[in-house]
Amino acid sequence: MTTDIDLEQARIFLDTEAALLDDQDFEGWLELFAPRCRYWLPISEGLDPEEELAIVNDDRATLDARVLRMRNPATYSQSPLSRTSRLIGNVLFDRAAPQVPGTVAVRARFTLAECRNRETRMYAGRLDHRLTRDELGAIRIVEKRVSLVNRDSALHCITFLW
């Protein structure tokens, strides 16, 4: 079964997603995810979130809670919120990813600058999206994996959304 998402559509989708995050429209971003989904940041190989320890490993319910938490000023690690600016590039279909009917695997690279409390940090890494179309034809995220180049370093607070 093929999923009707071409590379240009995938690229626009990823850029749109990035814009929502950088614009701090977290609720709008959340709507991009499928009702059953995973959002995760691996520490090691990034092969199996059920078997590996990860930096973040959210199912849909946890992701909902994460976004809700961002809006509460008592979430001190995001109060004030991080300002972010990210560039997405090198967007390709991931031919090496397992075939899952009804989905496409898209790989990309990102660089991201984050500023909070007047301190700026740079991050970079690989993005892996598994995308599908919902019953209305909208593109939805089934899985989003964010593999930081420094994932095995001791990290500062990274509770902003990736």
Partner 1 sequence: MSGSAPPPPAPSPGDLVHADRVHRRAYTDAALFDLEMERIFERGWVFVGAESEVPAPGDYKTATIGRVPVILSRDKDQGIVVLVNRCMHRGATVCREDYGNTSAFKCLYHGWTYKTSGDLIGVPFGGGYGKGWDKSAFSLRRAPHVGSYAGLVFASLTAVDVDLETHLGGARKYLDLMRDNSATGSLDVARVPERYVVEANWKLQLENVVDGYHPPFTHETAFEAIAREKGHNPATTSTQGSGARCATLGYGHGLLDYSDTDRGYSGKSSDSALAHHASLVERLGQERADEVSNADLQLLVFPNLFVQTGRQHLRVIRPVSVDRTEVYAHPYAVPGGPEDVNKAQLKAIAWWASAGGFGQPEDLEALAACQRGLAAPMAEWNYLGRGLHREVALSELETSGDVTDEVAQRGMYRRWIELMVEQS
| Residues at the site binding partner 1, with contacts judged by CB under 8 A | 41, 43-44, 50-57, 61-62, 65-66, 68-69, 72, 74-78, 152-159
Nearest distance, CB of residue 75 and partner 1, angstroms: 4
Q: What is the largest CA-CA distance in the chain?
A: 49
Query: Shortest approach of partner 1 to residue 85 CB, angstroms?
Result: 19
Q: Note whether 109 and 126 are within 8 A (CB).
A: yes
Contact indicator for 13, 132 with CB cutoff of 8 Å: no
Q: Considering the complex, state which of residue 78 and residue 132 has its C-beta at the smaller distance from partner 1.
A: 78
Least spacing, CB of residue 15 vs partner 1, in Å: 23
Q: Which is closer to partner 1, CB of 104 or CB of 161?
A: 161
Q: Which is nearer to partner 1, 3 or 75 (CB)?
A: 75
42: helix, coil or strand?
strand
Residue placing its CB nearer to partner 1 in the complex, 80 or 102: 80
Query: Least Å distance between CB 147 and partner 1?
Result: 13
Residues 10-28 as b/e (b if ≥16 CB within 10 A, e otherwise) read bbebbeebbebbbebebee
| Tokens at 76, concatenated | 């001190």
